[in-house]
C-alpha cells in the first residue's frame, strides 16, 4: 500500500493564482480531511468528507474548495491564493472513528 | 464539544532522561485516544492508541494509559534518545459522537546528547 500520497511537495504561487493540491489514498477509507499547520497553531481542519459525494466545512474553509468524486481522491482547490494561505497542508484518511493516516504534506508559499 | 489539552512546549531533556507529556480530554461519549508523532519535515504518524478505559498503548518504548477517572492519557518514556526529538500530538476520536477527530496543539520535544 502506498498509504496517503500528496502532490506537489512544494509550491510557490503568486497572489491571485489558483491551484489544486492532490491527495489520494489506497486503503478504502471513508473519511478524508485536509488540515493546515502553521507555527504555534497546531492543526486546523479545512474540509472533510465521509464518502464519495459528501463533503463538509471544517474550522477554516474560506478560500478553499473540495470535491470527492471517488473514495480514493480528495483534492483541495485554492481559488485565488493569498499570502495568508502560506502554510503546510496535510491530507489525512481513516475509517470513521479510527486512527488517522497522514500524507507527507505540501509546503505552499504565496508571494 | 470534545477537546484535548496537552502541555505546552518545548520540553527540553538530556538523553536518557524520563519523559512525561501530559494530555487531558473532554468527550461526551467513549472515545478512543491516540498519540501521534511528527518528525521534522514529515506528516503525523500514529505512535500508540488505546480504545477503552484502563487500556495501555505502547510502541517504541513509549507508553500511555487510558484513565477515564482522570480523563487523561499521559505519554511516558523511561529513557529518551536524540532521535525522539519531534512534535507529539494527543488526539481523540469518538465513534459515538462527532466522527471528526480532535487534536491537541502539539508538544515539541527536544533531546540533547
Tens-digit pLDDT profile for residues B85-104: 999 999 999 877 677 899 99
pLDDT value for A83: 97
Contact call for A103 and B43, based on CB within 8 A: yes
The predicted model gives A99-111 an average pLDDT of: 97
A8 is written with which cell numbers? Answer: 506537489
Q: How far apart are CA A49 and CA A61, in angstroms?
A: 13
pLDDT at residue A82 is higher than 90: yes
Work out whether the CA dihedral B50, B54, B56, B62 comes out positive or negative: positive
**A-side interface with B, Cβ within 8 Å?**
4, 31, 33, 41-43, 45, 48, 50, 58, 90, 92, 94, 96-105
Question: For B49-87, what is each residue's pLDDT tens digit?
Answer: 999 999 999 999 999 999 999 999 999 999 999 999 999
The predicted model gives A94-108 an average pLDDT of: 95
**Cβ of A16: how many Cβ atoms within 10 Å?**
10
Question: For A7-45, what is each residue's pLDDT tens digit?
Answer: 999 999 999 999 999 999 999 999 999 999 998 889 999
Instruction: Tell the burial category of A67 from Cβ atoms under 10 Å away from its Cβ (0-12, 13-18, 19+).
Output: middle
Cα B55 to chain center, whole Å? 14
CA-nearest of A88, A86, A106 to A20 is A106
Whether residue A66 contacts residue A55, with contact meaning beta carbons closer than 8 Å, is answered with yes
* B43 and A CB contact within 8 Å: yes
pLDDT at residue A49 is higher than 90: yes
Contact call for B34 and A99, based on CB within 8 A: yes
Nearest-neighbour CA in chain A from B94: distance (Å):
6
The count of C-alpha atoms lying within 13 angstroms of the C-alpha of A49, restricted to the half-sphere facing its C-beta, is: 26
pLDDT value for B9: 87
Q: Please report which confidence band the pLDDT of residue A93 belongs to, taking 50, 70 and 90 as the band edges.
A: very high
Mutate one of B4, B5, B35, B43 to test the A interface: name it (highest A CB count within 10 A).
B43
CA-nearest of A7, A34, A50, A41 to A90 is A34
Q: Residue B29 has what DSSP assignment?
A: S
Contact call for B43 and A94, based on CB within 8 A: no
| H/E element, A5 | strand A4-7
Contact call for A98 and B93, based on CB within 8 A: yes
Scanning every residue of chain B, which has its alpha carbon at the shortest distance from the alpha carbon of A36?
A: B43
pLDDT value for A39: 87
Amino acid at each position: 500500500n502506498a498509504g496517503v500520497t500528496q502532490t506537489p511537495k512544494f509550491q510557490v504561487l503568486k497572489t491571485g493564482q489558483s491551484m489544486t493540491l492532490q491527495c489520494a489514498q489506497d486503503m478504502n477509507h471513508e473519511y478524508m480531511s485536509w488540515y493546515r499547520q502553521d507555527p504555534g497553531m497546531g492543526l486546523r481542519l479545512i474540509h472533510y468528507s465521509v464518502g464519495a459525494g459528501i463533503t463538509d466545512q471544517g474550522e477554516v474553509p474560506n478560500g478553499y474548495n473540495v470535491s470527492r468524486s471517488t473514495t480514493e481522491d480528495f483534492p483541495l482547490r485554492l481559488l485565488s491564493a493569498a499570502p495568508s494561505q502560506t502554510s503546510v497542508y496535510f491530507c489525512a484518511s481513516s475509517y470513521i472513528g479510527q486512527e488517522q493516516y497522514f500524507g507527507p504534506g505540501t509546503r505552499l508559499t504565496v508571494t | 464539544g470534545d477537546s484535548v489539552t496537552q502541555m505546552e512546549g518545548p520540553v527540553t531533556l538530556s538523553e536518557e532522561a524520563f519523559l512525561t507529556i501530559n494530555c487531558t480530554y473532554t468527550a461526551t461519549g467513549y472515545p478512543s485516544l491516540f498519540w501521534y508523532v511528527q518528525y521534522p519535515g514529515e506528516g503525523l504518524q500514529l505512535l500508540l492508541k488505546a480504545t477503552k478505559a484502563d487500556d495501555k498503548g505502547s510502541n517504541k518504548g513509549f507508553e500511555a494509559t487510558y484513565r477515564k477517572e482522570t480523563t487523561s492519557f499521559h505519554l511516558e518514556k523511561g529513557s529518551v534518545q536524540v532521535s525522539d526529538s519531534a512534535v507529539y500530538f494527543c488526539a481523540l476520536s469518538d465513534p459515538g459522537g462527532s466522527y471528526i477527530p480532535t487534536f491537541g496543539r502539539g508538544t515539541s520535544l527536544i533531546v540533547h546528547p
